[in-house]
Amino acid sequence: MIYSTLAERIRSNKPVVLLTVIDGPNVGATLLASPNLNSLGTLGDSELDRVAARDALGELEAGRTSVRNYGPSGQVTPEDLRDTPTVRVFVESFSPPPQMIIFGAVDFTAALARVAKVLGYYVVVCDAREVFATKRRFPMADEVLVTWPEPVLTARGADLGPRDAVCILTHDPKFDVPAIQGSLATNVGYIGVMGSRKTHAKRLERLTEVGITKSKDLDRLMSPIGLDIGSRTPEETAISICAEIIGKRVGRDVPSLAKSNGPIHR
């Protein structure tokens, strides 16, 4: 039953995660978890099933396979790991990794790409300026494209969903207006746009000129990009962007710069 369901979901390209006990009281026990569906099978303890399935769905969303350690009843914080037998669970995700498309090969791009790679994203960097958009500057990116936003979003937009992110770091209306237009036409879960509050206000005028005026569209644009945590360096900004993506994806009320006022740098 578990294996036929697993095969069926893989064949239909739907995400699914298989958990197998590889060390502990029930070696070989399996549990199959899928987003928004009940789990199948058991690892031998209902509380362990609940906790491990929750964690496994997180791993699945990141498109990652891993080994997790629990107490016999799903303790993730055992008071003393030395005195408690550990259940080791192999968590096998069947899911393409989420994508992050970064428009703009700027100072912030490399730091964002590095942090996104830690989070398991397939990272695409895109800029029309071929001296900046090079694999040598962005060795950590999965792809570096020298082109404009339209062809990228036309070719790949249909594949973008809630797990995916577009980050527009260009600061250039010739580049970021079409990037925003193209991203709004997709179901991508996160659209972040870098720039000061003043830049964003000017950008909104340009968006109005090209007919982007609906509040449901404008509400999707996270600009200024990232959380209001006082980031200064590109790396700190990358952390604030990724923290915003995580929080928004799970519906947390996070302190986005886009939802606040006042200076970004204090």
By CB under 8 A, is residue 61 in contact with a copy of itself?
A: yes
Residues 6+ apart with CB under 8 A from 138: 105, 109, 110, 113, 125, 144
By CB under 8 A, is residue 265 in contact with a copy of itself?
A: yes
By CB under 8 A, is residue 211 in contact with a copy of itself?
A: no
CA atoms of 199 and 203, how far apart (whole Å)? 6
Instruction: Please identify which residue in 1, 28, 38, 79 interacts with a copy of itself, judged by CB under 8 A.
Output: 79
By CB under 8 A, is residue 129 in contact with a copy of itself?
A: yes
Nearest Cα neighbor of 89 from 49, 58, 118, 60 is 49
By CB under 8 A, is residue 34 in contact with a copy of itself?
A: no
Beta bridge partners of 41: 31
Task: Quote the distance between the C-alpha of residue 148 and its chain's center.
Answer: 23
Start-to-end CA span in the chain (Å): 58
**Which residue bears the tokens 């082109």?**
147
Task: Quote the distance between the C-alpha of residue 64 and its chain's center.
Answer: 12
By CB under 8 A, is residue 58 in contact with a copy of itself?
A: yes
- How many C-beta atoms surround the C-beta of residue 30 within 10 A? 19
Closest approach of a copy of itself to the CB of residue 192, in Å: 14
- For the chain, give the longest Cα–Cα distance: 66
Beta bridge partners of 122: 99
Instruction: Please identify which residue in 114, 137, 156, 220 interacts with a copy of itself, judged by CB under 8 A.
Output: 114
Q: Which stretch binds a copy of itself (CB under 8 A): 14-22, 94-102, 110-118, 152-160?
A: 110-118
For a copy of itself, give the closer residue by CB, 64 or 220: 64
By CB under 8 A, is residue 243 in contact with a copy of itself?
A: yes
By CB under 8 A, is residue 136 in contact with a copy of itself?
A: no
Interface residues with a copy of itself (CB under 8 A)?
54-55, 57-59, 61-62, 64, 68-69, 76-82, 106-107, 111, 114-115, 118-120, 129, 171-174, 194-196, 199, 202, 227-233, 235-236, 238-240, 242-243, 246-247, 249-255, 265-266
